[in-house]
Structure 1
């Protein structure tokens, strides 16, 4: 009986070992795919950045609405009245401006490589490139989002719909800038 038990234990150990090897092979394949696929890394970076953006947008909207409900006198400036009337677009625009810094960092970490921001000069240069790349979608997205809101589209749907469209444009523009700014070596830190 002991021989049967040993055979069963060895069989179990072999199966467990094979499972570990299969898991390792899958893990290795996933890491290799991650390293070689800048599009996949850009999507992951974008999802994280857009979640931060969405949170900033909602937080800023609450701040703007709370600020505008503080019983300010009817003599408020034209700018203040305009901000109150367009609170959702103002929060979107300001959140987008702030999120570019977050998205820039995430793109450096996940897509283009941390070496793209290792020095102050590299950081500021690549941040300026990010603002340049995102400026068109910042303006266009704000206008599209405002239009969707005026048409009665709920804010969350307007936000994510606008972001989905803008993300495609941003990917193409950033990949163009990234390709021109440095050669790709195909490592995990390069696009």
Structure 2
């Protein structure tokens, strides 16, 4: 039932939102240049890697050695607007359509985090990662990694279709009111270095 809902809902959303997707694509090309899309390998269900796709929000800026500058220096006002409205997440509907992601589930993080999880935290990979999730409507980037993972595991233990619908509706509210967008003084969440590093 969950997969069928994901497929039909993401297909419908892509069709209905196609004008917005086209406009955002044009604006990104105009403000940030090519490529319009940002692709990165992320761990999916059971830790299996897939290519997650999002709208690009940062400019290509490097130091004298050719290394990418910190996120805060590459982020633009335009990119911030995309993130604050969650418009940068729209291409992930393609990942949902392909069965690599779900509309609701723990957010897909970075591949290098996999060996850093505790056995309990690793449970977040028992389901497909989501465009939104329980952690996203209960703090998003405004909570610690430990808090985020506890919420992810709670979702795994209590998942249901009714809970997914509740999360989707609350996600819309979060987006409309731009709540919990980023963590304190970080443009994005600080790097996760393992649970012991947070104590």
Give me the TM-score of the superposition, normalised by structure 2: 0.27
Larger radius of gyration: 1
Q: Could you say which structure has the higher helix fraction?
A: 1
* TM-score (norm: length of structure 1): 0.28
